[in-house]
Amino acid sequence: MRRLRKAKIVATLGPASDDRTTIQALFEAGADVFRFNFSHGTHADHQVRYNIVRDIEKSLGRPIAILADLQGPKLRVGQFADGKVVLEAGAEFTLDNDPTPGDSRRVCLPHPELFAVITGGQSLLLDDGKLKLQVLDSDGQAIRTRVVNGGVLSDRKGVNVPDAVLPIPALTAKDKRDLSFALELGVDWIALSFVQRPEDILEARAIIGQRAGLLAKLEKPAALQQLDAIVQVSDAVMVARGDLGVELPPEQVPGAQKRILRSCRAHGVPIVIATQMLESMISAPVPTRAEASDVASAIYDGADAVMLSAESASGAYPVQAVQMMNRIISEVEKDPLYRNMLDAQQVTPRADKGDAICSALRSVTQIIGAVATVTYTTSGHTSLRAARERPSAPILSITPQLSTARKLALVWGVHSTVSDKVHNVDQMVAAACSTALNEGFAQPGEQLTITAGMPFGEPGTTNLLRIAEVWPPA
């Protein structure tokens, strides 16, 4: 099943999409990656969905990526004696370490690590930014604030601290349990929530190793202060605009998104744009025109993938949401302006053999009119470097590793296939030609550009470029 577009679609599974019929319909509608949100559902729920996805993958013969999204260290207030209170603008309100149920004057903040970093002049945002508190002072046991934007505050609502790097681990105890389970399942990607520093990624990497790709979710303003360093140690990045849009003023989110996109493109790291892309399709069969434009803008900017959250997990129209996203992407990629914008965004190759080869691959493909760029890869590195160049022809990725083929389902322009190992260049060219024919990328007499690393099977050794003419099958 060949996609006729280059950008990918990530669809979240949930109560509205947890049966085999719906999940297969989502894949056939255009979903390339299925996201399991570990903020919701049980391990048993995720096990069932995992088994269904792998069964569909086997029956349809196409690698499908599974992304396990860890909840992360979500900060919340404690409980109130009456379940909720009304905070009046201008009133004082205290967050302390006293577990006694709160009232309109105070509430427990059950995160002792925060008291040492919160100082006067900072802001606290409650309930997804609906309420805003200005910090007056903190003595290590209580944070005294003044209410700027008031409203109703109820038990366990979230707390955001936009003005500080928080001394909290990237992986909570729950995350570590979920991570162990996800790795045992065999997921392809792990999404790490609330990344603030490169060290957060390295902490998770020490546990994950090479068992899955590691995707950094950028949803804290603090992450933007070390953006390039975070991107360089990540396998992929997600612009998680939900919490990012709470902690940053809304007018700054588009600029932050473009800045993250530019960094990821420069470093050749796949990037996913997420949150509220087709939000109205949770309850309506069509999106707003603004939402359609939002998806289109991400594609024009060169994003690897766009993501559906509640639209496919709990909405009334999960399959229609994927179909709509598929149509928007396809329409953008037909526009000549799209190619012009990708070319204008082209970044200078790094001074290494892999980037030099893939840059030449892009030029040769365009000059000779090759119908496909074929990458032979074991680790996925060659296909990733080719995707960084955004060639005009599709990238037909051939790998002997099913795990690599699945992981590459997230990457722009890559059509991933599994083939037997090759041991020499002639076998590689033969595999490229036969796969291009079988997968519908080429006809006899058409030309392919092929790249690989020699010796075969060693990651990060992209150093070979070949041109081949496709011959008729024997």
Pairing mode of beta strands 462-469, 447-453: antiparallel
Active site residue 49: no
Active site residue 275: yes
Question: Apex CA 445: angle with CA 439 and CA 451, to 5°?
Answer: 60
Of the residues 275, 375, 378, 461, only one is catalytic, namely 275
CA atoms within 13 A on the CB side of 455: 1
Longest dimension (CA), the chain: 82
With a CB cutoff of 8 Å and minimum separation 6, the contacts of 111 are 75, 159, 168
Of the residues 54, 74, 76, 205, only one is catalytic, namely 76
Matching residue, tokens 């760029």: 373
Q: What gap in Å lies between CA 66 and CA 167, rounded to an integer?
A: 30
Of the residues 157, 217, 388, 407, only one is catalytic, namely 217
Active site residue 388: no
Of the residues 3, 35, 132, 220, only one is catalytic, namely 35
- Closest by CA position to 410, among listed 179, 242, 284, 236: 236
Q: Please, is 201 exposed, middle or buried when counting C-beta atoms within 10 Å of its C-beta (0-12, 13-18, 19+)?
A: buried
Active site residue 35: yes
Query: How far are the Cα atoms of 62, 110, 393 from residue 39, in angstroms, in the given order?
Result: 28, 19, 39
3-state SS, 430-459, equals HHHHHHHHHCCCCCCCCEEEEEEECCCCCC
**How is residue 313 written in tokens?**
């997990």
Pairing mode of beta strands 271-274, 305-308: parallel
Pairing mode of beta strands 305-308, 84-87: unpaired
With a CB cutoff of 8 Å and minimum separation 6, the contacts of 235 are 189, 213, 214, 215, 269, 270
The catalytic site residues sit at: 35, 76, 217, 275
